[in-house]
Structure 1
Amino acid sequence: MKEGNRRELLSHVETLMAQYCDGCFLHQHLKKECGRRSAHRFCISQCTVGEQLQEYGKKLS
Structure 2
Amino acid sequence: MDTKVLDKINRLERTYCRGCLLKEVNRTEGSKSSAHSFCITECSVGIEMKMYGNKL
Fold in common (TM above 0.5): yes
Specify the TM-score bucket, using the shorter chain as the normaliser. 0.7 to 0.9
Gaps of 5+ in 2: none
Give the TM-score taking structure 1 as reference length.
0.81
Q: Are 2:12 and 1:11 aligned?
A: no
- Percent sequence identity over aligned pairs: 38
Give the TM-score taking structure 2 as reference length.
0.87
Kindly indicate whether structure 1 or structure 2 has the higher relative contact order, using CA contacts under 8 Å at least 6 residues apart: 2
Q: Which has the higher helix share?
A: 1
1:32 partner amino acid: T
Gaps of 5+ in 1: none
Aligned residue pairs: how many? 56
Report the structure number with the largest CA radius of gyration: 1
List, as ranges, runs of 4+ consecutive aligned residues in structure 1 with deviation greater than 3 Å: none
